[in-house]
Structure 1
Protein backbone atom coordinates (compact mmCIF):
# COMPACT_ATOMS: atom_id res chain seq x y z
CA UNK A 1 0.00 0.00 0.00
CA UNK A 2 1.65 3.25 -1.09
CA UNK A 3 0.45 6.28 0.78
CA UNK A 4 3.06 8.94 0.06
CA UNK A 5 3.11 10.73 -3.23
CA UNK A 6 6.32 11.65 -4.96
CA UNK A 7 6.30 15.28 -3.77
CA UNK A 8 6.03 14.12 -0.13
CA UNK A 9 3.77 17.07 0.62
CA UNK A 10 0.62 15.07 1.28
CA UNK A 11 -0.43 13.72 4.61
CA UNK A 12 0.50 10.27 5.74
CA UNK A 13 -2.77 8.55 6.46
CA UNK A 14 -2.11 5.08 7.78
CA UNK A 15 0.99 3.04 6.86
CA UNK A 16 4.42 3.40 5.33
CA UNK A 17 5.62 0.67 3.00
CA UNK A 18 9.21 -0.07 1.99
CA UNK A 19 9.17 2.13 -1.10
CA UNK A 20 7.61 5.17 0.60
CA UNK A 21 9.99 4.82 3.55
CA UNK A 22 12.95 4.70 1.16
CA UNK A 23 11.63 7.77 -0.67
CA UNK A 24 11.24 9.63 2.66
CA UNK A 25 14.74 8.62 3.72
CA UNK A 26 16.32 9.70 0.42
CA UNK A 27 14.50 13.02 0.38
CA UNK A 28 14.96 14.08 4.03
CA UNK A 29 18.15 12.40 5.32
CA UNK A 30 20.58 15.12 4.25
CA UNK A 31 18.40 18.13 5.19
CA UNK A 32 17.67 16.62 8.61
CA UNK A 33 21.34 15.85 9.24
CA UNK A 34 22.26 19.41 8.19
CA UNK A 35 19.58 20.80 10.53
CA UNK A 36 20.90 18.74 13.47
CA UNK A 37 24.54 19.55 12.66
CA UNK A 38 23.70 23.25 12.68
CA UNK A 39 22.20 22.99 16.16
CA UNK A 40 24.53 20.44 17.76
CA UNK A 41 27.86 21.11 15.99
CA UNK A 42 28.74 17.41 16.04
CA UNK A 43 28.40 15.40 12.82
CA UNK A 44 28.20 11.96 14.42
CA UNK A 45 25.59 12.95 16.97
CA UNK A 46 23.57 14.70 14.27
CA UNK A 47 23.58 11.54 12.13
CA UNK A 48 22.66 9.42 15.17
CA UNK A 49 19.70 11.65 15.89
CA UNK A 50 18.43 11.45 12.31
CA UNK A 51 18.97 7.70 12.31
CA UNK A 52 16.90 7.48 15.51
CA UNK A 53 14.11 9.48 13.88
CA UNK A 54 13.96 7.18 10.86
CA UNK A 55 14.32 4.09 13.03
CA UNK A 56 11.38 5.23 15.15
CA UNK A 57 9.35 5.97 12.02
CA UNK A 58 10.09 2.50 10.65
CA UNK A 59 9.23 0.72 13.91
CA UNK A 60 5.88 2.50 14.14
CA UNK A 61 5.10 2.33 10.40
CA UNK A 62 2.06 0.07 10.65
CA UNK A 63 0.02 2.10 13.12
CA UNK A 64 1.45 5.57 12.59
CA UNK A 65 -1.04 8.42 12.25
CA UNK A 66 0.55 11.64 11.00
CA UNK A 67 -1.88 14.42 10.27
CA UNK A 68 0.52 17.00 8.93
CA UNK A 69 3.06 17.34 6.13
CA UNK A 70 5.91 14.84 6.43
CA UNK A 71 8.52 17.57 6.18
CA UNK A 72 6.98 19.38 9.15
CA UNK A 73 6.66 16.12 11.11
CA UNK A 74 10.28 15.08 10.51
CA UNK A 75 11.78 18.48 11.31
CA UNK A 76 9.63 18.77 14.41
CA UNK A 77 10.92 15.35 15.47
CA UNK A 78 14.48 16.59 14.86
CA UNK A 79 13.87 19.71 16.99
CA UNK A 80 12.54 17.55 19.80
CA UNK A 81 15.53 15.17 19.55
CA UNK A 82 17.97 18.12 19.61
CA UNK A 83 16.23 19.48 22.71
CA UNK A 84 16.38 16.04 24.32
CA UNK A 85 20.07 15.82 23.47
CA UNK A 86 20.83 19.13 25.20
CA UNK A 87 18.64 18.25 28.18
CA UNK A 88 20.51 14.96 28.65
CA UNK A 89 23.87 16.60 28.06
CA UNK A 90 23.11 19.25 30.70
CA UNK A 91 21.94 16.54 33.11
CA UNK A 92 25.13 14.48 32.58
CA UNK A 93 27.38 17.52 32.95
CA UNK A 94 25.53 18.57 36.09
CA UNK A 95 25.83 15.06 37.55
CA UNK A 96 29.53 14.89 36.67
CA UNK A 97 30.09 18.29 38.23
CA UNK A 98 28.29 17.24 41.41
CA UNK A 99 30.18 13.95 41.54
CA UNK A 100 33.54 15.64 41.07
CA UNK A 101 32.69 18.25 43.72
CA UNK A 102 31.67 15.53 46.18
CA UNK A 103 34.77 13.51 45.34
CA UNK A 104 37.06 16.52 45.78
CA UNK A 105 35.22 17.47 48.96
CA UNK A 106 35.69 13.97 50.34
CA UNK A 107 39.36 13.95 49.39
CA UNK A 108 39.85 17.35 51.00
CA UNK A 109 37.97 16.24 54.10
CA UNK A 110 40.06 13.09 54.33
CA UNK A 111 43.30 15.00 53.81
CA UNK A 112 42.26 17.62 56.33
CA UNK A 113 41.29 14.95 58.84
CA UNK A 114 44.64 13.19 58.45
CA UNK A 115 46.56 16.45 58.70
CA UNK A 116 44.53 17.50 61.73
CA UNK A 117 45.19 14.17 63.47
CA UNK A 118 48.90 14.39 62.70
CA UNK A 119 49.10 17.95 63.98
CA UNK A 120 47.02 17.11 67.05
CA UNK A 121 49.30 14.13 67.81
CA UNK A 122 52.39 16.32 67.34
CA UNK A 123 50.97 19.03 69.65
CA UNK A 124 50.07 16.40 72.25
CA UNK A 125 53.67 15.19 72.13
CA UNK A 126 54.91 18.75 72.67
CA UNK A 127 52.45 19.35 75.53
CA UNK A 128 53.70 16.17 77.22
CA UNK A 129 57.20 17.66 77.19
CA UNK A 130 56.05 20.69 79.24
CA UNK A 131 56.78 20.86 82.98
CA UNK A 132 53.97 19.36 85.10
CA UNK A 133 52.23 22.57 86.31
CA UNK A 134 52.67 24.27 82.93
CA UNK A 135 51.12 21.24 81.24
CA UNK A 136 48.19 21.29 83.70
CA UNK A 137 47.48 24.98 83.06
CA UNK A 138 47.67 24.58 79.28
CA UNK A 139 45.40 21.50 79.30
CA UNK A 140 42.78 23.17 81.51
CA UNK A 141 42.85 26.27 79.32
CA UNK A 142 42.86 24.75 75.83
CA UNK A 143 41.26 21.33 76.26
CA UNK A 144 38.78 22.04 79.07
CA UNK A 145 38.09 25.62 78.04
CA UNK A 146 38.52 27.07 81.53
CA UNK A 147 39.29 30.76 82.00
CA UNK A 148 42.35 32.02 83.88
CA UNK A 149 40.37 32.75 87.09
CA UNK A 150 38.76 29.26 86.95
CA UNK A 151 42.15 27.59 86.50
CA UNK A 152 43.60 29.65 89.35
CA UNK A 153 40.74 28.61 91.61
CA UNK A 154 40.94 24.92 90.65
CA UNK A 155 44.73 24.66 91.05
CA UNK A 156 44.75 27.02 94.04
CA UNK A 157 47.37 29.34 92.54
CA UNK A 158 47.28 33.02 91.64
CA UNK A 159 45.95 34.26 88.32
CA UNK A 160 49.37 35.78 87.57
CA UNK A 161 50.98 32.35 87.99
CA UNK A 162 48.37 30.82 85.65
CA UNK A 163 49.13 33.55 83.09
CA UNK A 164 52.87 32.91 83.42
CA UNK A 165 52.47 29.14 82.92
CA UNK A 166 50.14 29.65 79.96
CA UNK A 167 52.55 32.13 78.35
CA UNK A 168 55.45 29.73 78.87
CA UNK A 169 53.47 26.83 77.33
CA UNK A 170 52.37 28.87 74.31
CA UNK A 171 55.92 30.15 73.67
CA UNK A 172 57.25 26.60 73.83
CA UNK A 173 54.59 25.32 71.39
CA UNK A 174 55.06 28.28 69.06
CA UNK A 175 58.79 27.60 68.87
CA UNK A 176 58.23 24.00 67.71
CA UNK A 177 55.25 24.69 65.46
CA UNK A 178 56.96 27.29 63.30
Structure 2
Protein backbone atom coordinates (compact mmCIF):
# COMPACT_ATOMS: atom_id res chain seq x y z
CA UNK A 1 0.00 0.00 0.00
CA UNK A 2 1.43 3.33 -1.00
CA UNK A 3 1.37 6.16 1.51
CA UNK A 4 -0.40 9.29 0.38
CA UNK A 5 1.70 12.43 0.42
CA UNK A 6 -0.47 14.14 3.06
CA UNK A 7 0.17 11.27 5.52
CA UNK A 8 3.91 11.86 5.28
CA UNK A 9 3.29 15.38 6.59
CA UNK A 10 1.31 14.22 9.65
CA UNK A 11 2.76 14.21 13.15
CA UNK A 12 3.17 10.99 15.09
CA UNK A 13 0.26 11.98 17.32
CA UNK A 14 -2.02 12.46 14.32
CA UNK A 15 -0.90 9.16 12.83
CA UNK A 16 -1.51 7.40 16.16
CA UNK A 17 -5.06 8.73 16.27
CA UNK A 18 -5.71 7.58 12.72
CA UNK A 19 -4.17 4.20 13.48
CA UNK A 20 -6.45 3.78 16.51
CA UNK A 21 -9.37 4.35 14.15
CA UNK A 22 -8.12 1.57 11.86
CA UNK A 23 -6.49 3.68 9.14
CA UNK A 24 -4.20 1.35 7.17
CA UNK A 25 -2.40 4.19 5.41
CA UNK A 26 -1.48 5.73 8.78
CA UNK A 27 -0.16 2.30 9.86
CA UNK A 28 1.94 2.07 6.69
CA UNK A 29 3.38 5.53 7.30
CA UNK A 30 4.28 4.61 10.91
CA UNK A 31 5.90 1.43 9.59
CA UNK A 32 7.87 3.39 6.99
CA UNK A 33 9.03 5.95 9.57
CA UNK A 34 10.18 3.57 12.25
CA UNK A 35 10.86 0.13 10.80
CA UNK A 36 14.48 0.77 9.76
CA UNK A 37 15.50 2.57 12.95
CA UNK A 38 13.86 -0.07 15.15
CA UNK A 39 15.58 -2.85 13.21
CA UNK A 40 19.00 -1.20 13.68
CA UNK A 41 18.25 -0.67 17.38
CA UNK A 42 17.35 -4.35 17.89
CA UNK A 43 20.23 -5.58 15.75
CA UNK A 44 22.68 -3.56 17.86
CA UNK A 45 21.38 -5.43 20.92
CA UNK A 46 21.17 -8.95 19.49
CA UNK A 47 23.63 -9.03 16.57
CA UNK A 48 21.34 -11.50 14.84
CA UNK A 49 19.58 -10.49 11.62
CA UNK A 50 16.71 -12.97 11.62
CA UNK A 51 15.85 -12.45 15.29
CA UNK A 52 16.02 -8.68 14.80
CA UNK A 53 13.70 -8.86 11.78
CA UNK A 54 11.30 -11.15 13.64
CA UNK A 55 11.11 -8.88 16.68
CA UNK A 56 10.41 -5.76 14.63
CA UNK A 57 7.91 -7.67 12.49
CA UNK A 58 6.13 -8.96 15.62
CA UNK A 59 6.05 -5.45 17.05
CA UNK A 60 4.27 -4.06 14.00
CA UNK A 61 1.84 -7.00 13.88
CA UNK A 62 1.04 -6.38 17.53
CA UNK A 63 0.68 -2.65 16.88
CA UNK A 64 -1.89 -3.31 14.17
CA UNK A 65 -3.74 -6.03 16.07
CA UNK A 66 -4.03 -3.83 19.17
CA UNK A 67 -4.58 -0.51 17.38
CA UNK A 68 -8.00 -0.01 18.95
CA UNK A 69 -6.45 -0.26 22.43
CA UNK A 70 -3.52 2.05 21.66
CA UNK A 71 -3.20 4.74 24.33
CA UNK A 72 0.02 6.71 24.20
CA UNK A 73 1.24 8.11 27.50
CA UNK A 74 4.36 9.35 25.76
CA UNK A 75 5.48 9.87 22.17
CA UNK A 76 4.91 7.26 19.49
CA UNK A 77 8.65 6.75 19.06
CA UNK A 78 9.14 6.22 22.82
CA UNK A 79 6.24 3.76 22.81
CA UNK A 80 7.70 1.79 19.90
CA UNK A 81 11.22 1.71 21.34
CA UNK A 82 9.91 0.60 24.74
CA UNK A 83 7.76 -2.11 23.15
CA UNK A 84 10.65 -3.41 21.07
CA UNK A 85 12.91 -3.36 24.14
CA UNK A 86 10.43 -5.62 25.97
CA UNK A 87 10.37 -7.97 22.98
CA UNK A 88 14.20 -8.14 23.10
CA UNK A 89 14.03 -8.89 26.85
CA UNK A 90 11.49 -11.64 26.21
CA UNK A 91 13.70 -13.23 23.54
CA UNK A 92 16.79 -13.07 25.77
CA UNK A 93 14.80 -14.53 28.66
CA UNK A 94 13.53 -17.33 26.43
CA UNK A 95 17.08 -18.06 25.28
CA UNK A 96 18.29 -18.19 28.89
CA UNK A 97 15.56 -20.69 29.77
CA UNK A 98 16.40 -22.78 26.71
CA UNK A 99 20.09 -22.63 27.56
CA UNK A 100 19.45 -23.71 31.16
CA UNK A 101 17.27 -26.53 29.90
CA UNK A 102 20.00 -27.70 27.51
CA UNK A 103 22.57 -27.56 30.31
CA UNK A 104 20.32 -29.63 32.56
CA UNK A 105 19.84 -32.22 29.80
CA UNK A 106 23.61 -32.47 29.35
CA UNK A 107 24.14 -32.80 33.11
CA UNK A 108 21.39 -35.37 33.29
CA UNK A 109 22.97 -37.49 30.58
CA UNK A 110 26.33 -37.38 32.37
CA UNK A 111 24.97 -38.47 35.75
CA UNK A 112 24.70 -42.01 37.00
CA UNK A 113 21.44 -43.95 36.91
CA UNK A 114 21.18 -44.01 40.74
CA UNK A 115 20.06 -40.40 40.92
CA UNK A 116 17.76 -40.46 37.89
CA UNK A 117 14.58 -40.33 39.99
CA UNK A 118 15.84 -37.31 41.92
CA UNK A 119 16.76 -35.48 38.73
CA UNK A 120 13.38 -36.18 37.15
CA UNK A 121 11.55 -34.87 40.22
CA UNK A 122 13.78 -31.81 40.32
CA UNK A 123 13.03 -31.10 36.65
CA UNK A 124 9.33 -31.50 37.30
CA UNK A 125 9.54 -29.02 40.19
CA UNK A 126 11.52 -26.59 38.03
CA UNK A 127 8.95 -26.87 35.25
CA UNK A 128 6.18 -26.10 37.74
CA UNK A 129 8.14 -23.13 39.06
CA UNK A 130 8.81 -21.79 35.56
CA UNK A 131 5.11 -22.21 34.74
CA UNK A 132 4.10 -20.22 37.82
CA UNK A 133 6.66 -17.51 37.06
CA UNK A 134 5.30 -17.30 33.50
CA UNK A 135 1.79 -16.87 34.95
CA UNK A 136 2.79 -13.72 36.85
CA UNK A 137 1.52 -10.44 35.40
CA UNK A 138 3.82 -9.37 32.55
CA UNK A 139 5.50 -6.38 34.22
CA UNK A 140 5.83 -8.18 37.55
CA UNK A 141 7.34 -11.22 35.78
CA UNK A 142 9.85 -9.03 33.94
CA UNK A 143 11.03 -7.38 37.18
CA UNK A 144 11.20 -10.76 38.95
CA UNK A 145 13.18 -12.40 36.13
CA UNK A 146 15.63 -9.50 35.98
CA UNK A 147 16.16 -9.82 39.73
CA UNK A 148 16.33 -13.57 40.16
CA UNK A 149 17.57 -14.77 36.79
CA UNK A 150 19.45 -11.71 35.60
CA UNK A 151 20.96 -11.09 39.06
CA UNK A 152 20.32 -7.35 38.72
CA UNK A 153 19.99 -5.09 41.73
CA UNK A 154 16.83 -3.12 42.42
CA UNK A 155 18.67 0.00 41.32
CA UNK A 156 19.76 -1.57 38.01
CA UNK A 157 16.25 -2.85 37.30
CA UNK A 158 14.74 0.54 38.14
CA UNK A 159 17.14 2.26 35.74
CA UNK A 160 16.57 -0.29 32.96
CA UNK A 161 12.77 -0.18 33.18
CA UNK A 162 12.47 3.49 34.12
CA UNK A 163 10.79 2.70 37.45
CA UNK A 164 11.47 3.77 41.03
CA UNK A 165 13.46 1.42 43.24
CA UNK A 166 10.45 1.32 45.57
CA UNK A 167 8.26 0.05 42.71
CA UNK A 168 10.85 -2.59 41.81
CA UNK A 169 11.05 -3.76 45.42
CA UNK A 170 7.25 -3.92 45.67
CA UNK A 171 6.98 -5.88 42.39
CA UNK A 172 9.55 -8.43 43.60
CA UNK A 173 7.88 -8.77 47.01
CA UNK A 174 4.48 -9.25 45.35
CA UNK A 175 5.99 -11.86 43.00
CA UNK A 176 7.44 -13.76 45.94
CA UNK A 177 4.11 -13.68 47.82
CA UNK A 178 2.26 -15.04 44.79
CA UNK A 179 4.84 -17.76 44.16
CA UNK A 180 4.98 -18.73 47.84
CA UNK A 181 1.20 -19.12 47.89
CA UNK A 182 1.02 -21.11 44.65
CA UNK A 183 4.07 -23.31 45.13
CA UNK A 184 3.92 -24.04 48.82
CA UNK A 185 6.63 -23.15 51.30
CA UNK A 186 8.87 -26.23 50.79
CA UNK A 187 9.24 -25.89 47.04
CA UNK A 188 9.47 -22.11 47.25
CA UNK A 189 12.26 -22.22 49.86
CA UNK A 190 14.21 -24.95 48.07
CA UNK A 191 14.19 -23.47 44.59
CA UNK A 192 13.36 -19.75 44.64
CA UNK A 193 15.37 -18.41 47.57
RMSD value, Cα: 2.7
> With structure 2 as the length reference, what TM-score do the two structures score?
0.50
Question: In structure 2, how many angstroms separate the alpha carbons of the residues matched to 1:88 and 1:33?
Answer: 20
The answer as to 2:16 corresponding to 1:12 is yes
| Rg larger in structure | 1
Distance 1:92 1:4 in 2: 43
Matched, 1:35 2:41: yes
Aligned to 1:73: 79
Aligned length: 109
Secondary structure, counterpart of 1:68 in structure 2: coil
Give the counterpart of 1:85 among 84, 88, 91: 91
Specify which structure has the bigger relative contact order, considering alpha-carbon pairs within 8 angstroms and separated by 6 or more residues.
1
TM-score (structure 1 length as normaliser): 0.54
CA shift, 1:105, in A, is 1.2
State the secondary structure of the residue aligned to 1:58.
helix
Larger helix percent: 2
Unaligned regions of 5+ residues in structure 2, if any?
A: 1-6, 117-193
1:9 touches 1:69 (CA, 8 Å); kept in 2? yes
- Aligned position for 1:149: none
1:7 Cα deviation after fit: 3.2
Question: Which runs of no fewer than 5 residues in structure 1 stay unpaired?
Answer: 111-178
User: Within 1, Cα distance between the matches of 2:11 and 2:68?
Assistant: 21
Q: Equivalent residue of 1:62, what SS?
A: helix
